[in-house]
Amino acid sequence: MWKITLKSLLAHKLRLALTAIAIVLGVTFVSGTYILTDTIHNTFTSLFSTVYRGFDFQVRGVAQFSGPGTAVRNPIPESILPKIRKVPGVEDAAGSVVGYAQFVSHGGKAIANGGAPTIGASLHSKTLSYLHIVEGRAPTTSHGVVMDAGTAKKYHFKVGQQVRVLLFGPPRTFTITGIARFGDTANLAGATMAAFDTTTAQKVLGEVGKFNAIYVKVAPGAGKLAIQRDIARVLPRGVDVVTRQAVVNEAISSINQPLSFLSTTLLIFAFIALFVGAFTILNTFSVVVGQRTRELALLRVVGASRRQVFRSVLVEAAILGLVSSLIGLGLGVLTAMGIEALLRGFGISIPSGSPVLAARTVIMALVLGVGVTILAAISPARRAVRIPPVAAISDSHVVDVSLRRRFTWGASIAIAGAAVLGIGLSNHAVQLVGLGALGVFIGVAMLLPAVASPLSSAIGRPLARTLGVAGRLGRANSMRSPRRTAQTASALMIGLAVVSAFAVIGASISKSVTSVADNAVSADLIVYGKMSSPMSPGFSTTVPRVVAALPGVTATNTIYGHTPMSGQFKFRHSLETLTGVSARHLAGTIRLHMTAGDSRALASGTMLIDATVAKSDHLSVGDTVPVRFALTGRSTVRIGGVYKPNPIVGSYLVSDSYYLPHFQNPLPSGVLLRTSGGSAVEREVQHALAPYPNVQVQNRAQLEHSQLAQIDKLLGLVYALLALAVIIALIGIVNTLVLSVFERTREIGLLRAVGMKRRQVRIMIRAESVILSIFGAVVGIIIGTGLGVALASSLGSAGITDISVPASSMVVFIILSAVLGLLAATWPARRAAKLDVLAAIAAE
Amino acid sequence: MPMESVNGSPAAHALDLHKAYGTGQAVVNALDGISVTFEQGRFTAVMGPSGSGKSTLMHCMAGLDRPTSGRSFVGGVDVGSLNDTELTRLRRDRVGFVFQSFNLVPTLTAGENITLPLDLAGTKVDKGWFDHLAGQLGIAGWLTHNPSELSGGQQQRVACARALISRPELVFADEPTGNLDSIASAEILSFLRTSVKDLGQSIVMVTHDPRGAAYADRVVFLADGKVVGEMEQPTADSVLERIRLLAG
C-alpha cells in the first residue's frame, strides 16, 4: 500500500505542487514569524550584552513601580559616588546620566529611526563606558557633544561641525568633538546617541547633582559577592546595587513584551492563512478522491481493506504535509527578512541580525503543516472509504452521501461558533472570539453547498447572457457540483470574511476618529510631539511659552503626561497614565462631556475620570482613592467628576498644578491653542516653532486627516498580511479548475469536436472561475461584515464609538475577486484550450 | 499446487438470489430467484443477452454487491454473513477477478500490479509461482512497464496473473475478452482453460461470445434474471444453436 501511495503522489506532480503551495505558504508565514521574532530577540540580547559590559555592578534607584517593560526609578544623589569609590575592592566607579536628546539634521529635521529611542547620555570613565570614541575625542566643555557613528554616517556629520540638539529644555547647538560606536557596533537597533560630559549631561538631560545610575568595576581577583554587600551598606534608602547580569536580563525582558505582541499579531494572520490553506487541501483531496474512485474501488476489489484505503489517503496527506512544511520552513527564513522589510516599509523599525532557527520553530512548522494537511484530508479519506468495490466495474456508480447530515452539523457548528463568539466579545476574551469565528467559518462552509447552485446561477446570469454558449456552459459547470463549488469558494470566503471584518473595523475607527476631532477638542490649533519615541516623554518646556507669547493666540492649554513614558502613577492597584491640563483654559480648548460632577472641580485639586474607569472600578463623584507617585509616594485623591471617554486627555485627568509637583522633569506632551485669526496665526505659530522640529502644529482638519492617514496605514498593513490568505484561496481555485479540466477532458474534447473554438473553451473556464470567485467573495463579505460589526461594537470602550460599513470597499473587494478569479483561470483555461481533440475524446 | 476440494463442496453456489434496482414503478429485477452451482476444478461460462443479469450474478456471488434476498456461498462460506473486513479478506485471499476493462492500477508497473493482492495482505510473494505465471502468460519481459505502455491483450494477461497470484479457490472473469481482438482473446481463454486443466483451478466466466464459451466445461444460460438452461462440454456451434433457440 505504501508503494501505491507514493506512486500516486508522484504520478500527479502537478496536483501535488498546487496543493503543496497552500501548505508551504502557511508554514512559511508561521516559521517566518518565529524566525523573525527569535532573530530580533537574539539581536537585542547580544546588543545588550555588548552595551552592558565593562562594569560589575550598577547602583540605581529602587524601582518605584514597573510598567510594561520599563521600571520607573528616581535619580540618585551624586554624593553616593565618593562613598562607593571608598569601598575596598572597588577599582573604578562613575556616575551616569541618561535622558532625552535628539539631533537635528542639516536640513532642519528631527532625527529618529522608526520608533527607536533618541538617547542622551553622559560620557564617563573610559573603562566603564560602552561608548568607544573612534574619531575625535571626548568633549571638554559644555559646548561639545559626541555623536554615534550610525547617525554621523547616515546624516553626514563630521567632527568639528555644529549640530542642533533637542532637549527637555530649549534646543541647543553643540560642536561635535567625536564620533563613537556602541561597543563593537555602529548601530544600536536604530537608536541615536548624543553624549555630553557629565556636568553638561546633568544639566541638559537630568538634574544637577543627580545620576541615573553609578557603574562600578571591582579590582581583579576581588570577591564580588562581598563587595556587593559592602556597597549596599553605604547606600541610602531607596538605592540598591545589582549585578551586570541582572541589568542585562532586565533589558532583555523589557523587549519581550513588544516582541511577543508582534509575534502574536503575525501568528494570528499566519493561522488565518493556514486555515484557508486547510480548505484548499480539503478541496483538492476531495476532487482527487472523486477522480480516483475507480482506482480506489479496484484496490478494494483485489483485497484492500477500508483501513488500508483510509490510511493510504492520510499517508499521502502526511507526506505532502511533511515535504511542504520543510519547504515552508526554508522559505520562512527568507520571509522573516521579507516581513522585516514590510514592517520597515510601514515605519516599524527592527534591528536585523542573522536569522535564528530555533528547535521550537522547526517543531511548530512540522506539527502545524503536517497536522493541518492530515486534518483536512480526513473528510476526503472517509469518503474514499465509502467507495464500494463495485464502483471499479460499473461506471455509473456515484458515492452520494446525504447532505442533510452535513447541513445539520454545519448549522449546529455555525450556531455554536456564533454563541462562543458572542461570549468572547462580551468578556473581551480574544481566544474565544477566535474560536467562535473559526466555528462560524467551518459551519458556514458546511452549509455552503445548499446555496451554491442558486447563487452561482444568479451570479452567472449576466455572464451567460453576454458570453453566449461558452458563458452558459461556464455557468452550468459552476452549478453542476454544488459541493465542489462550495468547497472551492470556502477558502476565498474565509479570506474575504476576515478582510471585510477588518474593513468594517477600520471604517468604524475612522468614523470614530472623525467625531473625536469634533467632540474632544475645541482648540483651533494643536501642537504635539512628532515622534512618540519611547525616550521622548514630551517636548521642550519652552514650547508652550513660545506659542503663548504670539499675538493672535488668545488662550493656551498645556497637556502633561498621557504618553507611554510620562505620567505613570499607581491608581489604586494598577499602573495608569495621568494627564495634567490647565484648569483655567479647559473650557476653551478641550470638550469634556461630563456625565457626573463638574469639570471646574479640577481647579480644587480633584481628579476627573472617564466613564469607562468609573464603571469598571465602581467609582462615583466624592469617592476618595489611594494613589502613588514615584517621586512623592503615597497619597489620596478625591474624584471630582466623570466624563465621556476623550482620547485627547485619556482616562485620568488632573490640573497641572496637581500634576507638576508629582513628577520628575514633567514635560508637555501637547499644547492646545485658541487663536483670534485663521491661517495667518497658524503660519505665525509654525514659524515660531521652526526651531523645534520635534513638534508639529495642526489645525483640527489636519489632525483629523493625519489620524485617518495613520489608520489607513495600519489597515494597509493588515491587508498586506491578509493578502497571503487570499492568494492561498486563489491557488485553491486554480487547483480545482485544473482538476476539473482534467476530469472533463472527454467532454471538452467533445465540445471542440462539435465546433467549439479554443477561445470559447477559455471563456467557459474563465466564466466558471469568475463565478466561483464572486460566490466566495459575496458570502465572505456578508459574514465578514457581520463579524466586523460585532467586533467593532464590542470595542466601544477602546474608542470605537461609531459603526460604519464601507460599502464602496465591499464593491471593490467583489470586483477585485472577479479579476483575481479571471487570473486564476488563465492557466487552467489555456490547458483546456490546448487539449488535442482526438486524444481528448479517446481518453478514458 | 492444485486446489484441493474442500469437503467436496462446490467452488461456489447460490440459493434463490434476488437483486432489485430502483424503487416503486421503476424497479428492475436484475436477479429473479437464481439458484446455481459452480463445481470445483471446472471452467463454467455464464451466458445470456444484455440485461440478463450475468454480471449482477457474478458481483453478488463474489461479494462485490449485496443481493436483495437469497444466499450465495464461496467454498461453503455464506458471503451474505460476512462483514466488510471479512469480505475484504475473502476477495483478497480466496477469490480472483478478471474484468473486461483490464482494471490495472495505472501508477503501478505490471509486476507490481500482479503482486498487489499479496502486498495488500502483507504476505510474501512465492517467486516460483510468480515466475510460472509470468512465463505461462508470456509477460516476463513486460513486468517493469506501466499499464499504459502495454497493449490490451498484454494488460489482460497481467490481470490474469494478478487474479491467480494468491492461488484463489475461485476466479471470476467478467467478459475478459470483451475488449480484445480474436488473437488476444484466444490467448487469454487458452490460458484460463490450461489453468483449469493443469492446476485444477475453478473459474466462472461471464461472456456473450459463443466461441469463448466453447473453452468452458459447462455453460449456464441466463435470461431476465433467471437460469434458463445449461450445457455440458459446449462447442461454439452448439452454444450458438442454443442461443438461437432461447431467443426464438
User: Alpha-carbon distance A514 to A493, whole Å?
Assistant: 31
Question: Which chain B residue has its CA at the smallest distance from A386's CA?
Answer: B84
Q: How far is it, in rounded angstroms, from Cα A90 to Cα A86?
A: 7
What are the grid coordinates assigned to B224, written together? 431476465
Distance from C-alpha of B3 to C-alpha of A462, rounded to nearest angstrom: 68
The DSSP secondary-structure symbol of A556 reads E
Write out chain B residues lying below 8 Å of A304, CB-based.
Answer: 88, 92, 120
Q: Across residues B82-104, what is the average pLDDT?
A: 83
Contact A610, A801 (CB under 8 A): no
* pLDDT at B215 exceeding the cut of 60: yes
Cell of B120: 495488500
Which of chain A's residues have a Cβ under 8 Å away from the Cβ of B84? 305-306
Tell which of A2, A12, A298, A302 to mutate to test the B interface (max B CBs under 10 Å).
A302
Q: Do B92 and A298 touch (CB under 8 A)?
A: no
Write the DSSP string, A269-289: HHHHHHHHHHHHHHHHHHHHH
Q: Tell me the CA end-to-end span of chain B in Å, nearest whole number.
A: 45
CATH of domain B39-67+80-247: 3.40.50.300
Q: What is the CA radius of gyration of chain B?
A: 18
**Residue B174 Cα, gap to closest chain A Cα (Å):** 9
CA distance A838 to chain B (A): 17
Nearest to B92 among A294, A298, A302 (CB): A302
Max Cα–Cα distance, chain B, nearest Å: 55
Residue B60 near residue B31, CB atoms below 8 Å: yes
Would the CB atoms of B117 and A4 count as touching at under 8 Å? no
Instruction: Tell me how far apart the alpha carbons of residues A168 and A171 are, in angstroms, rounded to a whole number.
Output: 8
Hey, what long-range contacts does A720-725 have (CB within 8 A, 24 or more apart)?
A: A720/A342, A721/A266, A721/A269, A722/A269, A722/A272, A722/A495, A722/A498, A722/A499, A722/A502, A724/A25, A724/A29, A724/A269, A724/A273, A725/A269, A725/A272, A725/A273, A725/A275, A725/A276, A725/A494, A725/A495, A725/A498
DSSP A256: H
Listed residue (A13, A726, A29) closest to A331, CA to CA = A29
Whether B82 and chain A come into contact, CB under 8 Å, resolves to no
How confident is the model over A624-677, as pLDDT tens digits?
999 988 888 889 999 999 988 887 888 899 999 999 888 877 888 889 888 887
Residues in Cβ contact with A817 at an 8 Å cutoff, skipping those fewer than 6 apart:
A492, A496, A773, A774, A776, A777
A250-256 mean pLDDT: 81
Residues of chain A whose C-beta is under 8 A from some C-beta in B? 1, 3-4, 7-8, 10-11, 294-295, 298-306, 308, 388-390, 392-393
Where do the domains of chain A lie? 1-56+244-401, 57-243, 423-518+707-844, 541-691
Which residue of chain B is at minimal alpha-carbon distance from A389?
Answer: B64
Q: Which of B79, B88, B206 to probe by mutation at the A interface, max A CB count within 10 Å?
A: B88
Secondary structure class of A646 (helix, strand, coil): strand
Confidence of residue A759 (pLDDT cuts 50, 70, 90): confident
**A8, A287, A300, B58, B139 from B107: Cα distances, Å:** 6, 18, 16, 27, 18
Which residues of chain B does A3 touch, with a Cβ-Cβ cutoff of 8 Å? Answer: 108, 112, 119
- Which of A349-353, A799-803, B45-49, B89-93: highest mean pLDDT? B45-49
- Cβ–Cβ of A389/B120 closer than 8 Å? no
CA distance B9 to chain A (A): 24
Give pLDDT tens digits for A314-338. 888 898 899 999 999 998 888 777 7
Per-residue pLDDT band for A50 (boundaries 50, 70, 90) equals confident
DSSP for chain B reads: -PPPPSTT--SEEEEEEEEEES-GGG-EEEEEEEEEEE-TT-EEEEE--TTSSHHHHHHHHTTSS--SEEEEEETTEEGGG--HHHHHHHHHHTEEEE-TT----TTS-HHHHHHHHHHHHTPPP-HHHHHHHHHHHT-GGGTTS-GGGS-HHHHHHHHHHHHHHT--SEEEEESTTTTS-HHHHHHHHHHHHHHHHHH--EEEEE-S-HHHHTTSSEEEEEETTEEEEEEES--HHHHHHHHHHHH-
* pLDDT tens per residue across span A363-383: 999 999 999 999 988 888 888
Scored b (16 or more CB within 10 A) or e, B167-189 reads ebbbbbbbbbbbbbeeebbbbbb
- The three three-digit cell numbers of residue A669, written as one number: 506632551
pLDDT in tens, A528-577: 887 545 555 678 888 888 888 888 888 888 888 877 667 888 888 888 88
pLDDT in tens, B105-134: 877 889 988 988 888 788 888 999 999 999
Predicted confidence (pLDDT) per residue in A760-796, tens digit: 888 888 998 899 899 999 999 999 999 888 888 777 6
pLDDT band at B190 (very low <50, low <70, confident <90, very high): very high
Quick one: pLDDT at residue B160? Answer: 92
Confidence check on the interface: ipTM exceeds 0.95, yes or no = no
**pLDDT surpasses 50 at A722:** yes
Selection from A428, A431, A510, A438 nearest residue A716 by Cα:
A510
Helical segments of A398-481, H only:
403-427, 430-466, 468-480
Query: Which pLDDT belongs to residue A489?
Result: 86
Whole-number average pLDDT of chain A: 83
Helices assigned H by DSSP within A222-243:
224-234
Cα angle B146, B149, B151 (rounded to 5 degrees) comes to 120
| Cβ count within 10 A of residue A815 | 12
Distance of CA A317 to the CA centre of its chain: 32
3-state secondary structure of A794: helix
Query: A27-31, A87-91, A288-292, A549-553 — which is least confidently predicted?
Result: A288-292
Q: Which residue, B137, B121, B113, B115, is CA-closest to B89?
A: B121
- How many Cα atoms are found within 13 Å in the side-chain-facing hemisphere of A273? 33
Which residues are paired to A493 by β-bridges? none
The CA distance from B210 to A691, in Å, is 109
pLDDT at residue B7, rounded to an integer = 46
Instruction: Mutate one of A3, A301, A306, A387 to test the B interface: name it (highest B CB count within 10 A).
Output: A301
Beta-carbon contacts of residue B143 (< 8 Å; ≥ 6 apart): B109, B110, B111, B114, B134
Task: Report the SS3 class of residue A738.
Answer: helix
Provide mean pLDDT across the span A704-724: 82
User: 10 Å Cβ neighbour count for A819?
Assistant: 12
Rg for chain A (alpha carbons), in Å?
33
Confidence of residue B3 (pLDDT cuts 50, 70, 90): very low
Instruction: Please give the pLDDT value at position B38.
Output: 93
